[in-house]
Amino acid sequence: MMELHVCKQTTGDLIRKFALGDVDELLIGRDSDCDIRIRSRSISREHCIIEQDESGAMLLRDSDSTGGTFVEGKKVDAVRIEDGLEVVIGPAVLKFYDEEI
């Protein structure tokens, strides 16, 4: 099962951990209605979304955020979620781990 670790970008300290399981959709942002809420002014209210594509693969898509979503220093619109993926949004790093590997 895939896990998401939300960490501080500056220190790498773990803030929260989430088991993704068989999610259809998870909204990440600073709004109180988000499934995963990160309280920071540099994160959009609805910053990005985790969803499954038609093949069942999990994707992370930017939701037209103001600050952007970054993988390896490059701004991305969408990225396939795999073990070891690290995505930067504002002051947070989203780290994905496949616990079955």
Domains and CATH numbers, the chain: 2-98 (2.60.200.20)
8 A C-beta contact, residue 91 and residue 98: no
pLDDT of residue 13: 92
Coil, helix or strand at residue 94: strand
Task: Show Cβ contacts of residue 74 under 8 Å, excluding neighbours closer than 6 positions.
Answer: none
Distances (CA, A) of 90 to 14, 38, 52: 15, 9, 24
Going residue by residue through the chain, which has 101 residues, state the pLDDT in tens, using 9 for 90 and above: 889 999 999 898 999 999 988 778 999 999 999 999 999 999 999 999 999 988 888 999 999 999 999 999 999 999 999 999 999 999 999 999 997 76
